[in-house]
Amino acid sequence: MAVAEQERQMVRAQARWVHSSARKARLVTDLIRGRSVPEARTILAFSSRAVAKDVEKVLRSAVANAESRPNLHWQGDDLVVAAAYADEGPTLKRWRARARGRVARIRKRTCHITIELAQGSPVSAAPSMPAMAAPEPEPVEEPAALEEPEAVEEPEETVEEQEAAEEPEAAAEAETPETEAPETESPSAEAEAEASTEETDR
């Protein structure tokens, strides 16, 4: 671990050759950048990433470095994480045997984690965009109820018109002849006809 004092009165701690990729370490350092030391410790304690333990070690080392400087008179809880970043370190090349005499390359990446502390107020999160007022819904015009068509009043027929309408019906009934029922021969006539036919046969 190294300690360096810059123009802004900052204290730095660094961990080198950490066995983690720089990309994974940056995901954790981005969470604590601009936070106060107590808040950064809480975030790292509840982080589910394995590299968070290494970042927490660097943070504790930076706080110890700041408190050990007699000319600064800093307290750990009053400090702020001014900078936190991870640089790529050397990559270890390894291999694993595969089929047909081939090998598969394994890259064991490392990184260097650096944290700088300064005295000041924690950087607040970016101001959220003002909530846009929801547009007022336009009043929906209810469809007008379908109006029922007005019943047309038929003019009342006069007595003379009713009589004129009844006259052609009566005339038509008078013209239609009554159908005569078919005459049926009496049984006596049938007997006489049979007798006459027998005499002619003789």
pLDDT, tens digit, for every residue of 29-84?
A: 999 999 999 999 999 999 999 999 999 999 999 999 999 988 888 888 999 999 99
For the chain, strand residue ranges (E) read 11-18, 79-88, 92-97, 103-108, 111-119
Position 1 in a domain: no
- Which pair of tokens denotes residue 104? 């598969």
Which CATH number do you get for residue 30? 3.90.470.10
Position 152 in a domain: no
Q: Note the pTM of the prediction, 2 decimals.
A: 0.57
Position 149 in a domain: no
Query: What range does the domain containing 16 cover?
Result: 11-119
CB-count exposure of residue 39 (10 Å: 0-12, 13-18, 19+):
middle
C-alpha dihedral over 39, 41, 42, 45, to 10 degrees? Answer: 160
Position 195 in a domain: no
- Which pair of tokens denotes residue 195? 């007798």
Domain count, the chain: 1
Position 6 in a domain: no
Q: Could you give the CA distance from residue 44 to residue 55 in angstroms, rounded to a whole number?
A: 8
